[in-house]
């Protein structure tokens, strides 16, 4: 091989190494298109995929920022579940006999504010446990996961919270012209996260803390404050996810949002957010969500049993973290 040919090969290897998540997504899209005779690339299929993954995208954006700071959040699914139930309870029809607040009609803004505030409260709680109490993020969020599930069961008495008002359901089920509302909400949130990560001092601080928290503290960064804020931001995003999930489903129960933490962590890891901290982008997070969505769509289309889908997702998480560790081994 000539010197020029060798150079081109090295350039190609470098590009593939830097954009593994994009290459993986393209390969999966092509494979699924071949399996479905192109049906997966129809406008309706793409719209359905975008809607189905929208709530998960909010969770992934939140947990992705946390992982960039070398943290983790296992309470995602539980917080989304609690938020969805709190939100739904304030959006029920007042004449529904099994309503949590029967005979009371709340304004439309109240379930939205209550849901986001609930998510923010748990995010702040996690941040205080990690940054002030110095608990390991794994233990802190594992404990808050249990707290959130307990609160949900106590608040709803383990009942389904249904019969939501149409004016509330239209938020998650409506469209703006031909475009569903949910992907539009994701686009706005993604732009805000991108701006924070790339164009603010706080975003720079997040990467610095994830790269080396000791060096970040020595350089004058208020690590405690930044960690509290990043978990708070995550909680706000989980709150929005719970509100939109309740609106889209038109109800909430103890299973709503269950397992979302696994999907969110798997998605951002596939999208190039390093578990070692300090590395990750907003576009990578969303690409990871879409990649996982393609995998779910493909397994469903092929008739893979839901139990086996969980098994496959588990191996995907293990594999993604393994290759992430190998890729950034020199940094550890």
- Average pLDDT of span 132-140: 96
Rounded to 10°, the helix 201-211/43-68 angle is 70
% of the chain surpassing 90 pLDDT: 65
**In a domain? residue 109:** yes
Q: What is the pLDDT of residue 149?
A: 95
- In sequence order, the 6+-apart residues with CB closer than 8 A to the CB of 320 are 266, 269, 270
CA distance 316 to 292: 9
Q: What is the pLDDT of residue 76?
A: 97
Q: Say if residue 234's pLDDT is above 80.
A: yes
Q: Say if residue 321's pLDDT is above 90.
A: no
Contact indicator for 186, 262 with CB cutoff of 8 Å: no
Q: Say if residue 26's pLDDT is above 90.
A: no
- In sequence order, the 6+-apart residues with CB closer than 8 A to the CB of 55 are 80, 182, 241, 244, 245, 248, 260
For the chain, how many structural domains are there in total?
1
| pTM, two decimal places | 0.91
- Average pLDDT of span 240-251: 96
- Which two three-digit tokens encode residue 146? 């249990």
Q: What is the pLDDT of residue 143?
A: 97
**In a domain? residue 330:** no
**In a domain? residue 2:** no
**Distance set, CA 255 to CA 81, 161, 238, 251 (Å):** 7, 12, 16, 11
**In a domain? residue 1:** no
- Average pLDDT of span 175-204: 95
- In sequence order, the 6+-apart residues with CB closer than 8 A to the CB of 90 are 101, 106, 110, 111, 114
- Average pLDDT of span 28-51: 82
Q: Say if residue 1's pLDDT is above 60.
A: no
Phi-psi region of 303 (alpha: psi -120 to 50; beta: other; left: phi over 0): left
CA distance 330 to 17: 15
Domain span at residue 224?
Answer: 20-324
Q: Is the dihedral of CA 74, 273, 241, 45 positive or negative?
A: negative
Q: What is the pLDDT of residue 307?
A: 80
- Average pLDDT of span 203-213: 94
**In a domain? residue 218:** yes
Length reported for the chain: 332
- Which two three-digit tokens encode residue 89? 């309870």
- pLDDT tens per residue, range 56-101: 999 999 999 999 999 999 999 999 999 999 999 999 999 998 899 9
Range with the poorest average pLDDT among 106-115, 142-151, 259-268: 259-268
Q: Residue 183: which of 53, 43, 45 has the closest Cα?
A: 53
**What rounded mean pLDDT belongs to the chain?**
89
Beta-carbon count within 10 A of 134 CB: 9
**In a domain? residue 4:** no
Rounded to 10°, the helix 223-249/109-131 angle is 150
Q: Is the pLDDT higher at 162 or at 25?
A: 162
**In a domain? residue 294:** yes
Q: Residue 208: which of 228, 227, 235, 231 has the closest Cα?
A: 227
Helix H or strand E segment including 155 = helix 137-156
The alpha carbons of the chain give a radius of gyration, in whole angstroms, of 21
Q: Residue 85: which of 9, 150, 37 has the closest Cα?
A: 150
Identify the CATH number of the domain in which residue 201 sits.
1.10.3470
Q: Say if residue 218's pLDDT is above 70.
A: yes
Q: How far apart are the first and last CA of the chain?
A: 35
**In a domain? residue 130:** yes
């Amino acid at each position: 091989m000539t010197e020029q040919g060798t150079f081109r090969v090295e350039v190609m290897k470098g590009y593939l190494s830097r954009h593994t998540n994009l290459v993986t997504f393209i390969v999966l899209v092509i494979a699924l298109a071949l399996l479905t005779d192109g049906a997966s690339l129809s406008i309706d299929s793409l719209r359905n995929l975008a809607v189905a993954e929208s709530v998960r995208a909010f969770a992934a954006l939140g947990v992705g920022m946390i992982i960039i700071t070398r943290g983790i959040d296992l309470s995602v699914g539980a917080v989304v579940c609690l938020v969805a139930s709190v939100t739904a309870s304030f959006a029920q029809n007042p004449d529904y006999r099994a309503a949590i607040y029967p005979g009371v009609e709340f304004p439309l803004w109240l379930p939205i504010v209550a849901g986001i505030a609930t998510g923010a409260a748990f995010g702040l709680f996690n941040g205080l446990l990690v940054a002030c109490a110095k608990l390991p993020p794994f233990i802190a969020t594992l404990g808050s996961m249990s707290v959130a599930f307990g609160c949900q069961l106590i608040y709803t008495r383990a009942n389904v919270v249904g019969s939501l008002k149409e004016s509330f359901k239209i938020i998650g089920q409506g469209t703006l012209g031909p475009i569903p509302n949910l992907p539009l909400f994701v686009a706005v949130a993604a732009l805000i996260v991108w701006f924070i990560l790339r164009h603010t001092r706080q975003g720079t601080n997040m990467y610095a803390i994830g790269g080396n928290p000791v060096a970040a503290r020595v350089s004058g960064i208020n690590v405690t404050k930044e960690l509290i804020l990043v978990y708070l931001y995550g909680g706000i995003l989980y709150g929005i996810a719970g509100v939109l999930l309740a609106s889209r489903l038109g109800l909430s129960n103890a299973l709503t949002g269950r397992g979302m933490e696994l999907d969110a962590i798997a998605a951002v890891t596939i999208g190039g957010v390093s578990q070692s901290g300090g590395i990750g982008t907003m576009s990578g997070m969303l690409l990871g969500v879409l990649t996982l969505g393609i995998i779910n769509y493909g397994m469903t289309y092929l008739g893979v049993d839901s139990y086996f889908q969980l098994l496959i997702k588990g191996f995907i998480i293990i594999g993604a973290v393994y290759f992430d560790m190998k890729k950034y081994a020199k940094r550890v």
